[in-house]
């Protein structure tokens, strides 16, 4: 098994291909190779996963809203399920209230230590692969409390107009 993360050139897959090799590739770009595209889960699958892994009632009226707010994405669903498992006294309605507040979503997220380290490592890896100018724009935008649009980004950083499509 060969794992290639964030592949940008499909020719590299062809170089490694052989009848006895399984290649797992992640990419942000469509590749011209036989593939399985991973997308968000269905509402039913997302709810069943969070209920089973998080120990919450799958009939709770807040659960479909929670899954919808995080777009049924597997990693986000795993984080929510881990949150419920780590804080069994938390009601889904409380979690929904927190998730509905866009400015406080990340502050309320409970992440297992190994996941936190993995996320920090991933962000650091991606950040250090950015051009110096893009790193500077990210640092400048970090002072903005909460969500921002392109106009606000441009007000904070002179380079934001050019950097935002890359980020």
Q: Tens digit of pLDDT for each residue in 44-96?
A: 999 999 999 999 998 999 999 999 888 888 878 888 888 888 888 889 998 88
Please report, rounded to a whole number, the percentage of residues in the chain having pLDDT higher than 70: 74
The stretch 106-111 carries a mean pLDDT of 53
Q: Do residues 167 and 142 make contact, with C-beta atoms less than 8 angstroms apart?
A: no
Note the pLDDT tens digit of each residue in 18-40: 777 777 777 767 666 666 666 77
Kindly state the tokens that stand for 54: 């998080």
Residue 133 confidence (pLDDT) above 70: yes
Residue 53: per-residue pLDDT: 92
Q: Do residues 46 and 63 make contact, with C-beta atoms less than 8 angstroms apart?
A: no
Residue 106 confidence (pLDDT) above 80: no
* Of residues 118, 45, 52, 124, the one with CA closest to residue 85: 52
Output 102-105 pairs: Cβ under 8 A, ≥24 positions apart.
102/146, 102/147, 103/145, 103/146, 103/147
Kindly state the tokens that stand for 44: 């039913």
Q: Which of 63-67, 121-125, 154-158 has the lowest mean pLDDT?
A: 121-125
Output 80-85 pairs: Cβ under 8 A, ≥24 positions apart.
80/50, 80/54, 81/49, 81/50, 81/52, 81/53, 81/54, 82/53, 82/54, 82/110, 82/111, 82/112, 82/115, 83/54, 83/109, 83/110, 84/50, 84/53, 84/54, 84/55, 84/56, 85/53, 85/54, 85/55
**Count of Cβ atoms closer than 10 Å to residue 74 Cβ:** 15
pLDDT grade for 1, boundaries at 50, 70 and 90: low
């Amino acid at each position: 098994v060969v794992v290639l993360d964030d592949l940008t050139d499909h020719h590299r897959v062809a170089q490694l291909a052989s009848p006895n090799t399984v290649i797992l590739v992640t990419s942000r770009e469509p590749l011209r190779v036989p593939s399985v595209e991973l997308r968000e889960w269905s509402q039913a699958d997302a709810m069943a996963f969070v209920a089973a892994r998080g120990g919450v009632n799958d009939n709770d009226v807040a659960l479909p809203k929670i899954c919808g707010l995080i777009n049924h994405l597997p990693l986000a669903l795993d984080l929510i399920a881990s949150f419920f498992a780590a804080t069994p006294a938390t009601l889904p309605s409380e979690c929904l209230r927190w998730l509905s507040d866009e400015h406080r979503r990340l502050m309320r997220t409970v992440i297992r230590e190994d996941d936190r380290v993995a996320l920090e490592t991933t962000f650091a890896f991606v950040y250090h692969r950015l051009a110096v100018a893009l790193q500077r724009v990210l640092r400048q935008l970090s002072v903005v409390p909460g969500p921002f649009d392109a106009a606000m980004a441009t007000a904070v950083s002179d380079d934001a107009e050019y950097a935002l499509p890359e980020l």
